[in-house]
């Protein structure tokens, strides 16, 4: 994505189902769990580079020994930083105790991060500063093992204020009004109540310390999650560990945020993406399962696991942006979906270049648009094959025409190269304009000046800033007659509130284009009408029922908005003609039929909170408030 946005976090969980000594004996190392978690996290580092965290719990170590360990980091390479610290801790402890490296009991009683339950998190911050306090996992501590809770998640809640007020009404005093705190404290509260429920049930039958074990064996985490999450409105995949070693991964009822798992007799593994599990554990894709929406994968103290419904599922609306951009394309389903997205753009592209393939060069914006580009090229080849067949069947070709038609291949070049290292520093919006022109380099002497069209595909166009400030200017230096920018995603018209940092409407170039069209058409009063509807809905408490902002786009066609986007992103001194093509929503659904979460493009939000957010975001825009709507 040429427009940098922050997005969904990554989660990882490993439960070693056998005693720690088993892995030392079988794999010849005390680092089996650590190494596997490192792989899971490195293979998901695309999901979070602001920070990372790791937590580990030992099961059944004697009292007086630490059983919860946690490291978090906001270093420039946080995953590497954390695991270097863990390895350093091991090397230091074993320096004079090398013979103990294969003694599980000694390791667990003397070293941190030697437990059976592992949690990892990769952070893309959509709230709060990039400080270590904002990194997951979050820890809620207590002297009773069963009341300890470690949590991490890939989530955003739309009703944080409501959840915060409920905590206050329960008698709590939360330290901050953010979803991370409110979610953990809410689950922690009902974990405490579950402890008390089981304690009251068995206190007359068992005495301490046996009662502690009885409580742990009879805790109902499904009940805890049901009571905690029933008033959550948002997208989430949350992973939690209790102090006694039980763990869970809970997924929202619409399946907005992803979660996958694999299990055998040695491990239960959870991650946000399937390729991470496949790589780390060398399993087949058909062995990796999706956690069902509204369900939690719950692993008990003894390593037994199952999926349990903790909240009633609704229509599955998993995020389509996962398929377009966020997740790794090494997932075979995502790879094929992205290729299909590219292929489905062919009719629009051919029309825009007037079917002049001989004088058109095709390219892409690195790196995430590469797979869609393969699909685009495949679609061009299929079009040419049909044209050849038609010409032969019609039998009207001279030999030289037939030779030319049979030998013709689409012109494919890598016109744009990306400096990946430089990209990591462009995080401050105030510096972005100055730096963005240096992120990409161009390839010269492959375009025939004043003759060739250039078609360049990107996975999506959000703000259009990079096109205007960098890419179009660079491509124009090559001297093309026409530049066609193609987005494999549809026009982004509405804010996200479920995990992606796209919350302010003024940032969307499709929104800005629509405002200009309204002005040019004498329909500016439409903005005032929709604003009044949004304000009234917010004041009456009905903002969650209807997305009033969709009416803003009704007067104009998809192509009219695309053409206006092209005008907006074209620098004044550009010589080439510019066109912008967006994927259609209909084709997105064809390419990703099992992932219909398309609220960014349609305004059709999967939860009521989404409607409230978009209405509030529009009010913020009209009132000139540069703040989040959730």
Domain with CATH 3.40.50.2020 in the chain: 327-623
Q: If you average pLDDT over residues 364-392, what whole number do you get?
A: 92
Pick from 84, 142, 136, 145: nearest CA to 113: 84
Residue with tokens 């004043």: 450
pLDDT in tens, 347-359: 999 999 999 999 9
- Average per-residue pLDDT for the chain: 91
Helix, strand, or coil (residue 580): strand
pLDDT in tens, 258-283: 999 999 999 999 999 999 999 999 99
Q: Please say if the pLDDT value at position 12 is more than 60.
A: yes
Residue with tokens 């901050």: 176
Distance between CA atoms of 617 and 502, rounded to whole angstroms? 11
Band of pLDDT at residue 125, cut at 50, 70 and 90: low
Can you identify the CATH homologous superfamily of domain 10-316? Aminohydrolase, N-terminal nucleophile (Ntn) domain (3.60.20.10)
Q: If you average pLDDT over residues 542-546, what whole number do you get?
A: 97
Q: Please say if the pLDDT value at position 597 is more than 80.
A: yes
The reported pLDDT for the residue numbered 360 is 98
The reported pLDDT for the residue numbered 177 is 62
pLDDT in tens, 319-343: 999 899 888 889 999 999 999 999 9
- % of the chain residues with pLDDT over 70: 94
pLDDT in tens, 475-496: 999 999 999 999 999 999 999 9
pLDDT in tens, 382-432: 999 999 888 888 876 677 777 787 888 999 999 988 765 444 433 444 455
Pick from 478, 474, 480: nearest CA to 438: 474
Q: Please say if the pLDDT value at position 521 is more than 60.
A: yes
Distance between CA atoms of 259 and 153, rounded to whole angstroms? 11
Q: Please say if the pLDDT value at position 174 is more than 70.
A: no
The reported pLDDT for the residue numbered 218 is 96
The reported pLDDT for the residue numbered 89 is 94
Residue 291 DSSP class: P
Lowest average pLDDT, out of 103-112, 137-146, 398-407, goes to 398-407
CB contact set of 285 (below 8 Å; sequence gap of 6+): 274, 278, 331, 332
Distance between CA atoms of 154 and 136, rounded to whole angstroms? 10
pLDDT in tens, 205-224: 998 889 999 999 999 999 99
The reported pLDDT for the residue numbered 423 is 41
Q: If you average pLDDT over residues 515-528, what whole number do you get?
A: 97
Cβ 489 vs Cβ 582: under 8 Å: yes
Q: If you average pLDDT over residues 75-87, what whole number do you get?
A: 95
Q: Please say if the pLDDT value at position 236 is more than 70.
A: yes
Q: What is the CATH number of domain 327-623?
A: 3.40.50.2020
Band of pLDDT at residue 502, cut at 50, 70 and 90: confident
- % of the chain residues with pLDDT over 90: 76
The reported pLDDT for the residue numbered 426 is 39
Domain with CATH 3.60.20.10 in the chain: 10-316
Distance between CA atoms of 494 and 480, rounded to whole angstroms? 33
Distance between CA atoms of 41 and 78, rounded to whole angstroms? 10
Band of pLDDT at residue 3, cut at 50, 70 and 90: low
Band of pLDDT at residue 532, cut at 50, 70 and 90: very high
Q: Please say if the pLDDT value at position 103 is more than 50.
A: yes
Band of pLDDT at residue 5, cut at 50, 70 and 90: low
Band of pLDDT at residue 2, cut at 50, 70 and 90: low
Question: What are the E-state strand segments in 350-452?
Answer: 360-364, 411-412, 416-418, 440-442
Order of strands, sheet of 149-157, starting from the edge strand that comes earlier in the sequence: 138-140, 149-157, 234-242, 247-251, 295-299, 305-309
Band of pLDDT at residue 151, cut at 50, 70 and 90: very high
């Amino acid at each position: 994505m040429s427009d940098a946005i922050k997005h969904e976090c990554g989660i990882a969980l490993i439960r070693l189902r056998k005693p720690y000594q088993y892995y030392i004996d079988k794999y010849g190392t005390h680092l089996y769990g650590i190494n596997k978690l490192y792989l899971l996290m490195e293979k998901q580092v695309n999901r979070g580079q602001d920070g990372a965290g790791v937590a580990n719990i030992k099961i059944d170590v004697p009292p007086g020994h630490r059983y919860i360990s946690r490291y978090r980091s906001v270093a420039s390479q946080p995953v590497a930083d954390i695991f270097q610290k863990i390895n350093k801790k091991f090397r230091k402890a074993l320096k004079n105790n090398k013979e103990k490296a294969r003694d599980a009991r000694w390791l667990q009683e003397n070293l941190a991060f030697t437990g059976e339950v592992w949690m990892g998190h990769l952070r893309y911050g959509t709230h709060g500063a990039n400080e270590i306090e904002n990194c997951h996992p979050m820890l809620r501590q207590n002297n009773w093992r069963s009341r300890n809770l470690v949590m991490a998640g890939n989530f955003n809640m739309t009703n944080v204020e409501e959840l915060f007020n409920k905590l206050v009404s329960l008698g709590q005093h939360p330290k901050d009004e953010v979803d991370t705190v409110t979610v953990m404290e809410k689950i922690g509260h009902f974990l405490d109540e579950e402890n008390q429920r089981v304690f009251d049930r068995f206190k007359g039958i068992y005495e301490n310390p046996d009662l502690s074990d009885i409580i742990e064996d009879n805790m109902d985490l499904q009940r805890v999650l049901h009571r905690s999450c029933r008033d959550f409105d948002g997208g989430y995949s949350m992973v939690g560990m209790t102090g006694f070693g039980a763990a869970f991964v809970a997924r929202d009822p619409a399946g907005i945020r992803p979660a996958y798992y694999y299990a055998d007799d040695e491990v239960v593994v959870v991650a946000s993406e399937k390729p991470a599990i496949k790589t780390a554990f060398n399993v087949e894709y058909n062995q990796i399962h999706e956690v069902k929406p509204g369900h939690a994968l719950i692993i008990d103290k003894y390593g037994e696991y199952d999926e349990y419904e903790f909240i009633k599922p609704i229509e599955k609306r998993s995020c389509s942006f996962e398929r377009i951009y966020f997740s790794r394309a090494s997932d075979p389903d995502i790879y094929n979906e992205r290729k299909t997205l590219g292929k489905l753009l062919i009719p629009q592209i051919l029309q825009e270049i007037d079917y002049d393939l001989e004088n058109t060069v095709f390219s892409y914006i690195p790196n995430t648009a590469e797979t869609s580009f393969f699909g685009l090229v495949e679609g061009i080849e299929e079009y040419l094959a049909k044209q050849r067949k038609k010409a032969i069947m019609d039998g009207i070709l001279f030999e030289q025409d037939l030779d030319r038609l049979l030998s013709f291949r689409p012109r494919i070049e890598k016109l744009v190269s990306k400096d990946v290292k430089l990209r990591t520093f462009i995080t401050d919006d105030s510096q972005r304009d100055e730096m963005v022109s240096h992120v990409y380099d161009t390839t010269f002497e492959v375009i025939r000046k004043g003759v060739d069209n250039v078609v360049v595909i990107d996975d999506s166009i959000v703000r259009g800033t990079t096109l205007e400030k960098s890419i179009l200017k660079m491509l124009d230096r090559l001297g093309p007659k026409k530049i066609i920018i193609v987005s494999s995603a549809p026009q982004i018209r509405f804010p996200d509130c479920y995990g992606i940092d796209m919350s302010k409407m003024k940032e969307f170039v499709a929104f800005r284009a629509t405002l200009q069209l309204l002005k040019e058409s004498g329909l500016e009063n439409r903005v005032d009408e929709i604003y009044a509807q949004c304000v009234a809905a917010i004041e009456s408490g009905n903002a969650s029922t209807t997305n009033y902002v969709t009416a803003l786009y009704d007067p104009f066609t998809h192509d009219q908005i695309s053409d206006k986007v092209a005008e907006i992103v074209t620098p004044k001194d550009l010589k080439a003609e510019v066109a912008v093509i967006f994927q259609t929503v209909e084709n997105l659904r064809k390419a990703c039929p099992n992932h219909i979460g398309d609220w960014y493009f349609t305004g059709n939000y999967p939860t009521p909170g989404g409607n409230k957010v978009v209405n509030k975001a529009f009010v913020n825009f009209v009132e000139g408030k540069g703040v989040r709507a959730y």
